[in-house]
Amino acid sequence: MTRLPKNRQDYCMKFCKTCALLLCAGKGERSGLDYNKIFYRLPQGITVLEKSIDLLALSEIDKIVLVISPSDEEIIKDFWQGDYAFGGQTRAHSVKNGLDFIAQKGGCDVVVIHDCARPYASVNLVNACIQSAQALGSGVAGVTPTDTIKRKNDDTIAENLDRNTLVCVQTPQAFDFDKLCLAYAKATYNETDDSEIFSNVAPAVVVRGEYTNGKITTCADLSIKVGSGFDVHRLVESRKLILGGVEIPHKMGLLGHSDADVVLHAICDAILSAANLPDIGVLFPDTDVRYEGISSAILLRQTVDFAKNNGYSLVNVSAVIMAEKPKLAPVIPKIRQSIANICQLPVENVNVSATTTEKLGIIGQEQGIAASATCLMKRL
Ligand code: MG
């Protein structure tokens, strides 16, 4: 299924003014995925590939050519029915193959080169690069570094560089097509971007880039999600009080179909919420006899596994217990450790705090205990 507007699909290459090469051939080894990261589905529900195609399709571009890895050819056809060329050994070889493909089809005036792994560039940025290339021969997106950059000699700093004279080069990069082809005739193929190769014929012109136009290289760039959960249970006599998987001596306990561990229930809902899954009431209905009197530690363990099977792993948990009595401060470390064990997290990634409600409302009048939880999940 393509994300392209229909009228973009059958452009005639000849006479087209602006062509784009979308570089999709990277192996994405650093992404931590076992597939090309361009097929990663973004939180918006579309793949990195579709998002980048949409970006170029909405820009002032007449023709898009994908540069792909031969091993991705079949799967790419599910997303793209237009032209494509095969990538080469290095990035420079891949671009050269793309330029040759365009040349064979009659060439163009301006060629835009863009990394598929930068799906968040804006249409305005692509168009600014094109306009610069039309007027000045080139337009390369770049931003001033936010870190202080130094030149080193072995392990010592050899030179302090003025940040304002430096630029972090991104894509899109747009060039006069004929000039870039001339520059490629002198390429060593060790270059890591096209502005370096273009310098064989002229210095490239920098266009103000965007800090939001980051390149997806690692799993951490791909997706993290926050979830929150909340639960309340009624306090009654002759029930055990279990909070965070720990039995706490008290004259009353929480009423519920399971062991009524309000803390673990809030954590379950936080996890399910972040992972886009139905809540605990749907997953473990209180009408199901299998869950009668069950330890909520089992439910939380199953929830963590369920989220994992749906592509999300837990990073950290933060929970707040709202109770008038008993005093929870002495048992907090034990509760933290218990939650960490159930979730298989380091204890420093689990935090629990407790509060009263100043004798106000159902909590303050000791009719019940409530808990809220927040968690961070990482897309696998
Ligand atoms: Mg509950």
Q: What would the pLDDT profile of 92-102 be if each residue is shown by its tens digit?
A: 999 999 999 99
CA torsion, points 221, 379, 300, 271, in degrees to nearest 10? Answer: 70
pLDDT, tens digit, 9 for 90 and up, residues 23-64? 998 765 656 666 788 888 776 668 899 999 999 999 999 999
Ligand 1: centre distance to CA 346 (Å): 25
Ligand 1: centre distance to CA 351 (Å): 20
Ligand 1: centre distance to CA 101 (Å): 61
SS3 114: strand
Ligand 1: centre distance to CA 286 (Å): 9
Ligand 1: centre distance to CA 280 (Å): 8
Ligand 1: centre distance to CA 342 (Å): 17
Q: Which of these, 243, 225, 231, 244, lies nearest to 314 by C-alpha position?
A: 225
What is the C-alpha to C-alpha distance for residues 170 and 187, in angstroms, rounded to an integer? Answer: 19
Ligand 1: centre distance to CA 263 (Å): 8
Which distant-in-sequence residues (6+ apart) come within 8 Å of 35 by Cβ? 28
Give the phi and the psi of residue 124 in degrees, each rounded to 5.
-60, -40
CA torsion, points 318, 320, 321, 323, in degrees to nearest 10? Answer: 170
Ligand 1: centre distance to CA 307 (Å): 19
Q: What mean pLDDT, rounded, does the chain reach?
A: 91
Residues lying with their CB under 5 A of ligand 1, a single-atom ion: 231, 265
Q: Which of these, 190, 224, 204, lies nearest to 42 by C-alpha position?
A: 224
Q: Quote the tokens at residue 253.
A: 């306990």
pLDDT, tens digit, 9 for 90 and up, residues 95-143? 999 999 999 999 999 999 999 999 989 999 999 999 999 999 999 999 9
Ligand 1: centre distance to CA 261 (Å): 7
What is the C-alpha to C-alpha distance for residues 248 and 328, in angstroms, rounded to an integer? Answer: 9
pLDDT greater than 70 at residue 337: yes
Rounded to a whole number, what is the largest CA-CA distance in the chain?
86
SS3 236: strand
Ligand 1: centre distance to CA 372 (Å): 11
Average pLDDT of the residues in 248-262: 96
- Calculate what percentage of the chain has a pLDDT beyond 90: 79
Check: CB of residue 112 under 8 Å from CB of residue 20. Answer: yes
Check: CB of residue 144 under 8 Å from CB of residue 166. Answer: yes
The pLDDT assigned to 1 comes to 41
Q: Which of these, 172, 216, 127, 129, lies nearest to 22 by C-alpha position?
A: 172
The verdict on pTM exceeding 0.75 is no
pLDDT greater than 50 at residue 5: no
What is the C-alpha to C-alpha distance for residues 194 and 177, in angstroms, rounded to an integer? Answer: 12
- DSSP H or E stretch at residue 28: none
Check: CB of residue 341 under 8 Å from CB of residue 301. Answer: no
What is the C-alpha to C-alpha distance for residues 274 and 281, in angstroms, rounded to an integer? Answer: 16
